[in-house]
């Protein structure tokens, strides 16, 4: 009888684990509450109209259609019984529940943004970790420009044209740069009653520099490129309040001020998927302050060598890893190799570098120890993201869209869905 593998989560880690088992004598069941795989690094381009949702999201069944030993179940995991080796699935499309038996379990639940105990801010400052969040943000951003067009009061119009991005990591920097380009380069010829080049983009960061995970020289380069786009970084500044029309901030010296703004994007801090807590409860373990579960060097749970946990929802004992897609992808491949083989080798991350795009022909990055900035870094970023996209059709569509946007400065996916 073939070994039964249950994989929870169809993101970077989970999908790579499933695909890594395509030639193994196993039966793989992939469980996810969504029926698609999202290429999350490009979600911000959906939010700013550069790409459409179908160009960054691919149905899981389509990806795995030729993998005969894999099936997909659309549902939500509600718990685990590690002693009996059961996974409990709820919210099935037919309204029912399901118990899955396994010989080996792989849990790759990822993470979501943390509001640091202020979940009441979420309605005013949506996140960008999900496709739903990206589409919601696109509607809000586009509606802000529409509102500014019909607003008669200059102060109120300025509120609509002020965009606040919280968090100056790669996602926040990319988002701020895209909004600035949208207002200054893309939309200014399309509106008649106001000038979109008056768009004001503020990037709030609690630390002393943007892109804090990058070397200081690249962080400084990134800040210069942001400012050249018209983005204003507010460093050593924390958010202390958000409502429908403003953001309250506090600087490092304790001074507080209120910024009138109608659109806020949250890209600061992450917390692990609730799946980490469910696993921790199943083994009687604790999670850290970010909700992450600690796993052994081989990515298994202590006392349960048949259970792998990976991605942003875990910390690996003895390693310090960033919550980036390449880590989850390599962990997924590692879990598949361990399942195919007879030994449990420690996970070793091969750091190939990191890139962050800021805008048209603007980016910074480190690739195999080489520091890049500006146009060269931007081309490298484009090439790497095309390579990592799933499916030839999506690669071709995104490459075509980017080429058109570069030549025309256009954004073709600017449709407001929610009125």
Question: Active-site residues: which are they?
Answer: 174
Residue 386, SS3? helix
The DSSP bridge pattern shows strands 314-316 and 104-107 to be unpaired
d(Cα 295, Cα 307) in Å, to the nearest integer?
Answer: 10
H or E element in which residue 101 lies: strand 98-101
Residue 104 DSSP one-character state: E
**Alpha carbon of residue 153 to chain centroid:** 37
The DSSP bridge pattern shows strands 3-8 and 26-32 to be parallel
d(Cα 279, Cα 80) in Å, to the nearest integer?
Answer: 7
Nearest to 384, CA basis, from 414, 405, 363: 363
**Alpha carbon of residue 360 to chain centroid:** 21
The beta strand positions in 205-345, using DSSP E, are 231-234, 237-242, 246-251, 256-260, 263-266, 270-272, 293-295, 300-301, 304-309, 314-316
């Amino acid at each position: 009888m073939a070994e039964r593998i249950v994989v929870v989560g169809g993101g970077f880690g989970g999908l790579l684990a499933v695909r890594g088992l395509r030639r193994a004598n196993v039966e793989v069941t992939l469980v996810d509450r969504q029926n698609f795989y999202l290429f999350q690094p490009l979600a911000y381009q959906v939010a700013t109209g550069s790409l459409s949702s179908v160009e960054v999201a691919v149905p899981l069944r389509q990806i795995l259609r030729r993998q005969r030993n894999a099936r997909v179940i659309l549902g939500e995991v509600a718990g685990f019984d590690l002693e009996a080796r059961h996974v409990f699935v709820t919210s099935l499309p037919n309204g029912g529940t399901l118990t899955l038996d396994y010989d080996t379990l792989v849990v790759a639940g990822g993470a979501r943004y943390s509001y640091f105990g202020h979940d009441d801010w979420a309605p005013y400052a949506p996140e960008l970790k999900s496709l739903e969040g990206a589409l919601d943000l696109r509607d809000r951003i586009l509606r802000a420009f529409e509102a500014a067009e019909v607003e008669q009061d200059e102060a109120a119009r300025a509120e609509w044209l002020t965009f606040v991005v919280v968090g100056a990591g790669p996602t926040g920097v990319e988002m701020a740069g895209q909004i600035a380009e949208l207002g200054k380069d893309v939309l200014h010829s399309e509106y008649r009653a106001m000038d979109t080049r008056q768009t004001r983009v503020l990037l709030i960061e609690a630390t002393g520099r943007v892109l804090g995970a990058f070397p200081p020289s690249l962080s400084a380069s990134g800040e210069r490129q942001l400012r050249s786009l018209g983005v204003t970084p507010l460093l050593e500044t924390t958010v202390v309040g958000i409502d429908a029309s403003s953001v309250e901030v506090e600087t490092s010296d304790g001074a507080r001020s209120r910024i009138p703004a109608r659109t806020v994007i949250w890209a600061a801090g992450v917390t692990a998927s609730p799946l980490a807590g469910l696993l921790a409860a199943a083994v009687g373990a604790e999670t850290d302050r970010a909700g992450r579960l600690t796993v052994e060097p081989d990515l298994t749970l202590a006392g349960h060598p048949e259970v792998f946990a990976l991605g942003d929802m875990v910390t690996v004992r003895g390693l310090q890893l960033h919550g980036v897609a390449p880590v989850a992808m390599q962990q997924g491949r590692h879990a598949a190799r361990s399942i195919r083989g007879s030994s449990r080798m420690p996970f070793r991350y091969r750091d190939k570098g990191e890139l962050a795009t800021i805008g048209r022909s603007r980016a910074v990055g480190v690739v195999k120890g080489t520091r890049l900035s500006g146009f060269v870094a931007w081309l490298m970023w484009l090439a790497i993201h095309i390579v990592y996209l799933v499916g030839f059709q999506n690669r071709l569509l995104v490459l075509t869209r980017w080429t058109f946007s570069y030549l025309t400065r256009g954004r073709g996916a600017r449709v407001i869905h929610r009125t």
